Chain A
Amino acid sequence: MINIIWVAMTVIGIVFAMVNGRMEEVNKAVFEGAQEAVTLCIGFISVLVFWLGLMRIAQTSGLLDKLSLLFTPLMKKIFPDVPADHPALGYILSNMIANMFGLGNAATPLGIKAMEQLKVLNGGRNEASRSMVTFLVINTSSITIIPTTVLAIRMNYGSVSPAEIVLPTIITSLFATTCAVLIDRYMYNRKNRNRVK
């Protein structure tokens, strides 16, 4: 899908330029776009190095594990099908904490491990269980505390206050995730009711 969108944007753009007589601008855009992308990524290095370095300390010292303990009671409510002492719950929690603090690369392997465990719980079937759908929905709406790359972009373009969007981002993502969990619960209940009938 992304392939089609990418090609469409480029080709439609060039066709428009032919009609509008804007070939010169388009030529410039190719090289300026590429250069801007590289400049931006170099700008990412600063924020990413600092943040990932700091988060490695939090991982090593056990601070992130301690945080995930805090969320255990809530997770038991959200995942009623997962037994309290099952390893799946631990992976789910570590995955969510990693996502919250902008550690996408650490979050993905943990998420896959959580899915493996949930599959075991579901008897190894190739069908998504209730908990799997819930876990996936929480991940796609993603609770974010520190949006690292966005901060880097804002700094790069000279924002007066790069961090002013931190709390609005937290509020928005919390709201979306809560709605997602509620919709998931509602759909599950509706499906079950139909089955009983």
Chain B
Amino acid sequence: MQIISTVSLWLIPIIIVAVLLHGTWKRVPTYEIFVEGGKEGIKIAVSIIPFLVGMLVAISIFRASGALEFFVGLLRPFLEFFGIPAEIVPLAFLRPISGNAALGVTSDLIATYGPDSFVGRLASVMQGSTDTTFYILTVYFGAVGIKKMGNALKIGLIADFIGITASIVIVTLIFGTI
């Protein structure tokens, strides 16, 4: 498992070096282009604020009232039989429906259980490895006026289920359940 953490740590620096060297070689004004592209990052981060405020307030209320504890407690005996932490269920459920809502749940889980805990790592991988099926379906098919979607929704949701299951298995295998 040492290899996996090494690759994880080396990947980003290697991409940085490759991009900068290739840019210099192609005579791109690297620093100026970097600044230009970076401006978009500020726009995106600011535009997420309302989504995250709405979702995190709702989650905080749900948690502080004891409601989350109650529902998680109902699921726990069943899920723990399969080695699945019950805390992850809200994320698994929301991920295909809304990307920003899921992002709110992910940050709440990481804040509550710590980024280096089993739940924190699991939430990280789950959030990163699948996309918002309903959103993509609506935007892509909506934009070009597709009315009959065929099997797209069914397969998309099956893929989400596989991704969520796979993230549990892979995180357990790589990091253990601590």
Query: Which residue of A42, A57, A108 contacts B139 across the interface (Cβ within 8 Å)?
Result: A108
CB pair A57–B12 under 8 Å, yes or no, is: no
CB pair A133–B60 under 8 Å, yes or no, is: no
Binding site for B on A (CB under 8 A): 1-2, 5-6, 9-10, 12-17, 20, 22, 25-26, 28-30, 32-34, 36-38, 40-42, 44-45, 47-63, 99, 105, 108, 111-112, 115-116, 119, 126-128, 132-133, 135-137, 139-142, 144-147, 149-150, 153-154, 156-169, 171-173, 175-177, 179-180, 183-184, 187-188, 191
Binding site for A on B (CB under 8 A): 4-5, 7-9, 11-12, 15-16, 18-20, 22-23, 25-26, 28, 30, 33-42, 44-46, 48-49, 52-67, 70, 94, 96-98, 101, 103-104, 106-107, 110-111, 114-116, 120-121, 124-125, 127-134, 136-137, 139-141, 143-152, 154-156, 158-160, 162-163, 166-167, 170-171, 174-175
Docked complex Cα distance between A56 and B171 (Å): 32
Of all A-B residue pairs in the complex, the 4 with the closest CB atoms, nearest first, are A56-B37, A147-B128, A33-B60, A48-B41
Q: Is the interface of B mostly helix, strand, loop or mixed?
A: helix
CB pair B130–A141 under 8 Å, yes or no, is: yes
Q: A45-B42, A115-B140, A149-B103 are in contact. Are A17 and B111 (CB under 8 A)?
A: no
List, in ascending order, chain B residues with CB within 8 A of A42's CB.
45
CB pair B8–A133 under 8 Å, yes or no, is: no
Q: What are 7 A-B contacts with C-beta separation under 8 Å?
A: A2-B101, A52-B41, A140-B136, A141-B159, A144-B129, A163-B12, A167-B11
Q: A13-B65, A48-B45, A133-B152 are in contact. Are A36 and B55 (CB under 8 A)?
A: no
Query: Chain A: which residue is nearest B96 at the CB level?
Result: A140
Docked complex Cα distance between A5 and B175 (Å): 32
